[in-house]
Each structure stands twice: as C-alpha cells, then as structure tokens.
Amino acid sequence: MHVHMTRITEAAEKLNNTLEQKAPAIYSLLSRNGQKAFFPHAGILGQTAESKGTKINATIGQAFEEDGRPMVLDTFLSQVKLPQETFLYSPSYGQKKLRELWQREIKRKNPSLKTNITLPIATSGITHGLYLAGELFIGEDETVIIPDKLWGNYKVIYKHANFDEFECFKGKGFNVHGLEEKLSGSNQKKIVLLNFPNNPTGYTPTEQEAEEITNAVKDSAERNNSIAVICDDAYFGLVFEDGTYKESIFAKLAGLHERVLAVKIDGITKETYAWGLRVGFVTYGFKGMDEEASSALEDKTAGTVRGTVSNVCTHSQFLAINALQSQEFIPQTEEKYKTLKQRYDTIKKTLEDNQRYSEFFEALPFNSGYFMCIKLKQNNTEQARRGLIKNHSTGIIATGGTLRIAYSAISKDDIPKLFENVYNECKR
C-alpha cells in the first residue's frame, strides 16, 4: 500500500525560507503542518484579486444580479440593516478595516506594547484561533506546558498533543516557580499556554508575578530554548483588583527575545459580549520581527483559515467594524465592566461576612474575568453539583476537584443565596 505524504509546496517553501533566514528560532517552532501551511496566492483567490476592477469578471464562485449587485434573497435582506456586500465572502485574512481597528484596540489596551506586531488575522471565534495556533506550532505528540487549572476544551482542540501541567497556585498567588521548572533545560522547543484572566479560576497575575513570568520565559530563551507562548486572552480587560497586571502578558512577551514567539488569541466574544458573532483574532509578535517575517506568519495563518472555515462570517465582521468605530463603544464596554465588577465585589463581601463557609469550602485566588472557583474540604464536587440542582435549583460546574461559579451569568442579588445554597448542600 502506498501512503501519499503531502509534500511541502513551492509556496510553503518560500514562506519557510523567509522565516528561516529572518528568524531561525521562530521557524524552528513550526510544526510539520505549520511548515506545510501557505496561502494560495496563485490559486483562485490570487487570480480573483488580480482580476479586481475588470469590466467582465467571471472569477469567483458568487452570484450577482444583471446590474452587478450581489444576488441576495429578499427574505434575508429584509432582516438586516447592513449593506448587500455583507452577503459576500470575506478575505481569508479577514476584513482589512476590521484587522486595522483590532490592532489599534490591542495597542490602546496595552500601552506598554512598543514592538512590531502582525496585523491580526480574523478567526471564527477564539476556539478557532486556538486551533490555528495548534495547527501551526504544536506537532503530533508534542508537549504543551500549562497550569493545572485549565479550560477543558483545550484537550479537545489539542487532542494530538501532550499536556505537561504544573500547579496553578502556590499559596495565594500564581505558581511562577512551577512554570520555571517546566521551562528548564536548553536547546529545546517549548510551547506554553497561558490564559489570563483564567478559566476556570478567574485569576490574573499581579504586576510582580507578570514580571516574574516574563523573566522565566526570557531566562529559558537565553538557554537556547525556542518558545511559543500562546496567550488565550478571551477574558482580557476584566480585571477587578488594584495591583493586578492590567495589560495582556502578550505585551511583555511580544518584544522580549528573538527566540520567543508571542501568539495573542482574542476577540469580540467575551471582551465585548458578542459570543454568537464568532469573531476572534490571531496576532503575533517577536523581537526583531520585520515586515517579511510578519507577512510570512500572516500568510501561513490565513492559509490555515482557508483550509478550515475558508473565511469568517462577513456579517459578523461588519457588525464588529461598526461597533469598534462607534463613539459609544468604549463607554458601553465600561458600563458592562461596572456590572461585572459589582458582582465580583458582592462575592468578596459575601465570603468575608460568612466565615462559617470555611468549614466546608474555600475560594481559590480570583481577581478578574467571568468566574471564580471554590474548593470543597470534605464533599465530592460532582455529588455537590447534583445536589445543588436537585435540592436548591442551583446550577454550577464541577471541574478538576473544584466548583466553578460563572458570576457573569447571574444577578448580583442572587450571589448571597448561591453561596448559602452551596453551604447548606455541603452541610446536608
């Protein structure tokens, strides 16, 4: 039986050569699929782009009316206020305007970011962005270094990888030493996945911890390790305590070292409360990244988008463009932030006012995001979860020996009752 191995195409080889010459350490981080990834500039998309503006254009597989307008059913058109163009395909890179606006947002929210970053590539939600990073950088049976408090879906997205977990917390803070141990050794490829604010715990490192994490990565790079740090910034911006690091860890890592590739995965999903629109982004940064290297990474990513979902929903992208350009955008996101902050403050007060709860459970460190976790002292979490539904009509998630409470999803007034229900169920 002949097994046909997909060879690396000429287009992929060209991108590989660029990266190998411009940034050999970054090139070494590519998985086999990452090496094979390319954008088909010479194919249908490239030829279509070259034909733009021609009088008779019979290139792309879309339908147009006799007068050149997009062919759209009135039953669709009557439901939306957006232009007919939103029914057409978007580029696999994403709408250029949206990419520029999102890059501007990244810089606005991360004022310390002074290094070159790529123009973000649009993805079909943050999960798709994480998947793309996996395709490009995580090879079969390669290892992902990650804290042990993690989003369960990572193991579905990266089912081809091994997870090397370290304890998330040491005392009341992030376990930087645990990360340092995993980054030990030299002349190796390392992949780290950091998710702040963390799902499930709702923890973001303090300013000092963020500095220590950065130093741990830099020390490892200086021992000749090549490191890709995937920053899952799904809940970025929702930080509720002073002294917590307010920017993305990406801002510290993007210009850190020639051997460190920072990969920012974010989107309008959680940050701007538009979960169902499925618009995320992948953005890269590394020290010394020039236009050619940047373009090579963008091409490989857009090519992988082309090979998965083809392109991201144009409607959703236009909604995002309009929102980001609106003068109401920042005040409205600040308003929603205040609502979540009030719930966070209510949890803190509820736990402080009820020291008796400590007989049965204690809160894990939390300071940000949508969630917080409690660790039960003597009860089985799954048993407690089921009992809360049956006896108290209260739903929370049991995960990794803890109970995760999504306070993003409940009213501030229901918070004291929720914790009382947990207490009574544990007591029962």
Report which of 361, 363, 366 is spatially closest to residue 425, judged by C-alpha positions.
361
Give me the chain's average pLDDT, please: 95
CATH of the domain at 297: 3.40.640.10
182 Cβ partners below 8 Å, 6+ apart? 145, 164, 166, 190, 192
Asked if residue 422 is part of any domain, the answer here is: yes
Asked if residue 374 is part of any domain, the answer here is: yes
- Regarding whether 176 and 226 lie in a shared domain, the answer is yes
- Regarding whether 335 and 321 lie in a shared domain, the answer is no
pLDDT at 59: 84
Give the containing element (helix H, strand E) for 264.
Answer: strand 260-267
Q: Rounded CA gap, 312 and 314, in Å? A: 6
Amino acid at 67: D
The answer, yes or no, to whether residue 81 has pLDDT greater than 80, is yes
Asked if residue 237 is part of any domain, the answer here is: yes
pLDDT at 96: 98
Asked if residue 49 is part of any domain, the answer here is: no
- Regarding whether 337 and 293 lie in a shared domain, the answer is no
Q: Rounded CA gap, 226 and 191, in Å? A: 9
* Local confidence band at 397 (pLDDT 50, 70, 90 cut-offs): very high
pLDDT digits (tens, 9 = 90+) for 265-309: 999 999 899 999 999 999 999 999 999 999 999 999 999 999 999
CATH of the domain at 393: 3.90.1150.10
Asked if residue 76 is part of any domain, the answer here is: no
Boundary residue ending a domain (281, 298, 325): 325
CA torsion angle 191 399 202 405 (round to 10):
160
Is the distance from CB of 318 to CB of 295 less than 8 angstroms? no
- Regarding whether 318 and 368 lie in a shared domain, the answer is no
Average pLDDT over residues 155-166: 97
The answer, yes or no, to whether residue 2 has pLDDT greater than 80, is no
Give the containing element (helix H, strand E) for 344.
Answer: helix 329-353
Query: How many CB atoms are located within 10 Å of the residue 170 CB?
Result: 12
Domain that holds residue 340: 329-427
- Regarding whether 321 and 335 lie in a shared domain, the answer is no
Q: Rounded CA gap, 238 and 43, in Å? A: 42
* Local confidence band at 3 (pLDDT 50, 70, 90 cut-offs): very low
- Regarding whether 158 and 119 lie in a shared domain, the answer is yes
The answer, yes or no, to whether residue 201 has pLDDT greater than 90, is yes
* Local confidence band at 26 (pLDDT 50, 70, 90 cut-offs): very high
Classify residue 68 by its DSSP letter.
Answer: S
Percent of the chain with pLDDT over 70: 99
pLDDT digits (tens, 9 = 90+) for 89-107: 999 999 999 999 999 999 9
- Regarding whether 352 and 204 lie in a shared domain, the answer is no
Asked if residue 160 is part of any domain, the answer here is: yes
- Regarding whether 390 and 308 lie in a shared domain, the answer is no
Boundary residue ending a domain (325, 352, 375): 325
Average pLDDT over residues 20-24: 97
Boundary residue ending a domain (279, 296, 325): 325
- Regarding whether 252 and 190 lie in a shared domain, the answer is yes
Q: State the total domains in the chain.
A: 2
